Amino acid sequence: MNREEALQKVKEQITEKRYIHTIGVMETAIQLATKYGANVEKAEIAAIFHDYAKFRSKEEMKQIIVEENMDPNLLLFHSELWHAPVGAFLVEKEVGINDREILDAIRYHTSGRPEMSMLEKIVYLADYIEPGRAFPGVDEVRELAEVNFERAFLQAVKNTIMFLIRNNRAVFPLSFETYNSYCINMEAD
């Protein structure tokens, strides 16, 4: 599937504002993949489809989580998390993409997970630092991404967790596991 076809499929599923965000994530993912030696084509496709399910109804997403035996703990946390695993499922089912690396990059772009592939981390970070994002800490992570990908990724995870804590929101366990895993790995280096 080429870029134009992929973008058209996504454009049908999301708002114009989210489409602009998607373009930013795609361009950022391509830059990061090029700079850090990841598969550029896979980064492009995963970034394009990362928010494919973002505007599905909560009821539809909940039903998919239950019927597809996804982690039931997802339902205990904010529905903002749901679009990532549901999106991976729908991209495979509706679009026909069955590349595990691409689907996992979509699946974990909100929560992260320990032992993420470079492609997964690229989509996570691209979603965080794309040019349309404007919030405290994002410029620091953008600057880090220019010189140290792993530190930029870890800072994005840390900032996300701190944002949730400051706003009295529960943090999905996989996000804590991601943070801890990468802190331990960086200490060992």
**CATH at residue 8:** 1.10.3210.10
Asked if the structure places residue 101 within a domain, the reply is yes
The boundaries of the domain holding residue 19 are 3-134
Asked if the structure places residue 147 within a domain, the reply is no
Structure confidence by residue, pLDDT tens digits, 14-30: 999 999 999 999 999 99
Residues 6 or more apart whose Cβ sits within 8 Å of residue 75: 62, 65, 66
Asked if the structure places residue 153 within a domain, the reply is no
Structure confidence by residue, pLDDT tens digits, 50-72: 999 999 999 999 999 999 999 99
When divided into structural domains, the chain yields a total of 1
- Give the pTM: 0.96
Find out whether 97 and 103 touch, Cβ atoms under 8 Å.
Answer: yes
Instruction: Report residue 11: phi and psi, to 5°.
Output: -60, -30
93: DSSP letter: I
Q: Which helix (H) or strand (E) holds 118?
A: helix 118-129
In angstroms, the CA 16 to CA 161 distance is 28
